[in-house]
Chain A
Amino acid sequence: MGKVEPVLHPNPVVSDHLVKENKLKQLWTVFKKDKLAVVGLVIIVLVSFVAIFAPFLAPYDPNLSHGSKRLLGIGTPGHLLGVDEQGRDILSRLIWGGRSSLLSAVLPIALMFGVSLILGLVAGYWGGKIGEGIMRLLDVLFAFPTVLLAIVISAIMGAGLVTIMVACCFTMLPYMTRVVYTSTVTEKTKEYVEASKILGATKFQIAFKEVLPNVISDLIVYSTTLIGVAMVLGAGLSFLGLGVQPPTADWGKMTSDGMKVLTIGAPHVATIPGLIILVVATSFNWLGDGLRDVFDPHKRTQ
């Protein structure tokens, strides 16, 4: 099979179905060019797979203590990444820990995706008193450094996985809404909106049928990057003891547990989970950058 060149200007006679397929292929061709984005996607898929199938992939029960093997180092036979301060296999805990770390980052962003889209569109398109009200309310949330707001929410709700997710929702919502708001305000002045108005479309129709498809790509790109941010934030809250409670494995909590044995010569216990957080969070960043190229028509035609 020869290499298929992407069709940049599809023949207008071909069927809709074919055009759609070509468009996807074309987008993939653009995405593929960004090597880091592909690396990011591969890492995310791999880590998600491992987390989902943790019961089948983890070599040991993550909470099982191998008593006498406490604090064994990396590369110990039978324990690839060593053993922690309570004699538990670090690799198994990493595999299981991916569940809470991924869930506490992806779910809040997914939930807030819809909320921020509506709030941003309403504030940006309708403006007026409602829009003003929404944006002033967000200003108050912006007045807290992200971590502090998350800590306040955790203090109110008590420690737990749900707490971390709620904290992530509230801290990420203002940023996501502002992205939608800014794009909406820009789109509002464009010609197609004027045209729809002249054709007699209602405000609701224009906002949700015309403007929405044009602002959603910005939000998709931004949200992907924010998943990485939320993951680091959630891990930080777990690190402070505000997240999942022991003995459940969690990357942030593993780091703080490992910190206690840092001074007695077992640096791997604290540093491995943090390194994983860094790599996975950065992968979401790379994926976001790749998606930006895909959605940016100027880049696409280059």
Chain B
Amino acid sequence: MLTYAIKRILAIIPILLGVSFLVFSIVYLIPGDPAVKILGQAATDEAVAALREELGLDKPFFVQYGIWLADILTGNLGTSITMRIPVESVLIPKLINTLILTAGSLAVCIIFGVLIGLLAGLKPYSWFDRISMFFAQFGANVPVFWLAIVLMWILSIQLGWLPAFGMYDMRTEGSVLSTLQHLILPSIAAASVSLAVIARLTRSSLIDAFNSDYVKTFRAYGISERKIIFKHAFRNILSPIINMTGLQIGSLIGGALFVEVVFSWPGLGSQIYTSITGQDLPMIQAGVLFIAACFVIVNLINDLLVAFLNPRLKH
């Protein structure tokens, strides 16, 4: 287990290096002088020359990359072009907001995905199973931004049950209850795709488990159905569910990017969206780097968790 963990942790180093290299290259892949790009067309020649020197654009490409990487590792992510303040002071609060939204949608997709999957799988071909699996069919292809709009229209504009914009009320800024209320709709919208995937997987794993020899044996021994479900079958289907949940993190983060734009959630997604519109390159680079790094680390945690739960998967 320990050797596997060390190997797996070491394996993310080249991936993170590759990611950082790709993110660094963004500036150079955009046609035109990066310094002009950063300062805008209206910049004076002196300003451009000064920035070229500051960025080290006269140095060889790989030296520039090395300097940039060293800066990042020491916590210096650059200065926002549009806001003229260090990128990290803007992005870190936004990153926390995105993590709150991702955690919310993760909770929604695990709780409801597993619950729906179990209820459907316990009674295959019942009306509940048919209805939930009909919707789950569409789940994998639902455009998240569209679902967000539909939810917003029905539950906040028509019924007025839940807030439609932002992360908290202006009056009760910072109140946990208010944030939770604001979190519900964006979480559901961002979770939709993964919820459907997890519900389908839970259902099929449970049905497989019920047809397996060990469950038949337990039944023959007269062990109660409840005990078989919760003590034995559920434990066996837990590992594939956790594995699949880990694989869904990317889709949750991607969903969050769209949902943030629709619900004006002040996270990294909205920020990257604004930064692209404003051509704020350091902001885009750092934002993308943050999300990709989170994604790699979450995948690592997931792999370790799966290996820990299922010794057979160690290799």
Interface majority SS on A: helix, strand, loop or mixed?
A: helix
* Alpha-carbon distance A232/B145, docked complex (angstroms): 10
Contact of B251 among A143, A145, A256 (CB under 8 A): A145
Known: A144-B295, A229-B141. A151 touches B19 (CB 8 A): no
Contact of A148 among B14, B30, B142, B257 (CB under 8 A): B257
Q: Are B138 and A278 in contact (CB under 8 A)?
A: yes
Known: A156-B30, A242-B276. A263 touches B149 (CB 8 A): no
Known: A151-B257, A281-B141. A255 touches B149 (CB 8 A): yes
Interface string of A252-292 (1 = CB under 8 A from B): 10011011001100010011011101100110110000000
B254 on interface, CB distance cutoff 8 Å: yes
Please give the distance in Å from A177's CB to the nearest CB on chain B: 16
Please give the distance in Å from A239's CB to the nearest CB on chain B: 5
Q: Are B150 and A271 in contact (CB under 8 A)?
A: yes
Please give the distance in Å from A188's CB to the nearest CB on chain B: 19
Please give the distance in Å from B298's CB to the nearest CB on chain A: 10
Q: Are B146 and A275 in contact (CB under 8 A)?
A: yes
B15 on interface, CB distance cutoff 8 Å: yes
Please give the distance in Å from B249's CB to the nearest CB on chain A: 8
Contact of B295 among A139, A145, A259, A262 (CB under 8 A): A145
Known: A240-B273, A259-B149, A278-B138. A147 touches B257 (CB 8 A): yes
Known: A156-B30, A263-B157, A267-B153. A146 touches B137 (CB 8 A): no
B140 on interface, CB distance cutoff 8 Å: yes
Interface string of B140-177 (1 = CB under 8 A from A): 11111111011011000100000000000000000000
Interface string of B268-296 (1 = CB under 8 A from A): 00001100110000001000100110011
B146 to chain A: which residues have CB within 8 Å? 255, 270-271, 273-275, 277-278
* Alpha-carbon distance A228/B142, docked complex (angstroms): 10
B277 to chain A: which residues have CB within 8 Å? 241
Residue tally, chain A, CB below 8 Å to B:
44
Contact of A262 among B14, B149, B296 (CB under 8 A): B149
Please give the distance in Å from B27's CB to the nearest CB on chain A: 9
B18 on interface, CB distance cutoff 8 Å: yes
B262 on interface, CB distance cutoff 8 Å: yes
Q: Are A143 and B273 in contact (CB under 8 A)?
A: no
B22 to chain A: which residues have CB within 8 Å? 140, 152
Q: Are A151 and B250 in contact (CB under 8 A)?
A: no
* Alpha-carbon distance A144/B19, docked complex (angstroms): 8
Q: Which residue of chain A has the shortest Cβ distance to B146 in the bound complex? A: A274
Q: Are B143 and A232 in contact (CB under 8 A)?
A: yes
Contact of B143 among A36, A236, A242, A285 (CB under 8 A): A236
B265 on interface, CB distance cutoff 8 Å: no
Q: Are B253 and A228 in contact (CB under 8 A)?
A: no
B68 on interface, CB distance cutoff 8 Å: no
Q: Are B141 and A156 in contact (CB under 8 A)?
A: no
The contact size tier of chain B is 35 or more
Q: Which residue of chain B has the shortest Cβ distance to A264 in the bound complex? A: B157
Q: Are B18 and A146 in contact (CB under 8 A)?
A: no
Q: Are A228 and B141 in contact (CB under 8 A)?
A: yes
* Alpha-carbon distance A57/B168, docked complex (angstroms): 47
Q: Are A255 and B145 in contact (CB under 8 A)?
A: yes
* Alpha-carbon distance A145/B296, docked complex (angstroms): 9
* Alpha-carbon distance A254/B225, docked complex (angstroms): 52
Q: Are B292 and A148 in contact (CB under 8 A)?
A: yes
* Alpha-carbon distance A152/B150, docked complex (angstroms): 27
Q: Are A262 and B292 in contact (CB under 8 A)?
A: no
A42 on interface, CB distance cutoff 8 Å: no
Please give the distance in Å from B271's CB to the nearest CB on chain A: 12
* Alpha-carbon distance A145/B291, docked complex (angstroms): 8
A262 to chain B: which residues have CB within 8 Å? 149, 152-153, 157
Known: A139-B18, A143-B19. A156 touches B257 (CB 8 A): no
Q: Are B144 and A236 in contact (CB under 8 A)?
A: yes
A235 to chain B: which residues have CB within 8 Å? 143
List B residues 1-47 near A (Cβ within 8 Å): 14-16, 18-19, 22-23, 26, 29-30
Q: Are B144 and A140 in contact (CB under 8 A)?
A: no
* Alpha-carbon distance A167/B46, docked complex (angstroms): 36
Please give the distance in Å from A278's CB to the nearest CB on chain B: 6
Binding site for A on B (CB under 8 A): 14-16, 18-19, 22-23, 26, 29-30, 137-138, 140-147, 149-150, 152-153, 157, 249-251, 253-255, 257-258, 261-262, 272-273, 276-277, 284, 288, 291-292, 295-296
Known: A143-B292, A145-B257, A267-B153. 14 other contacts (CB 8 A): A136-B18, A137-B18, A139-B15, A143-B15, A146-B251, A147-B255, A148-B292, A154-B276, A236-B144, A240-B261, A274-B147, A282-B141, A284-B141, A285-B141
What 10 pairs between A and B have smallest CB-CB spacing? A274-B146, A147-B254, A140-B18, A281-B141, A145-B250, A145-B254, A145-B253, A282-B141, A156-B29, A267-B153
6 contacts between A and B (CB under 8 A): A136-B14, A136-B18, A145-B249, A145-B295, A255-B143, A258-B149
Binding site for B on A (CB under 8 A): 36, 136-137, 139-140, 143-148, 151-152, 154-156, 228-229, 232, 235-236, 239-242, 252, 255-256, 258-259, 262-263, 267, 270-271, 273-275, 277-278, 281-282, 284-285
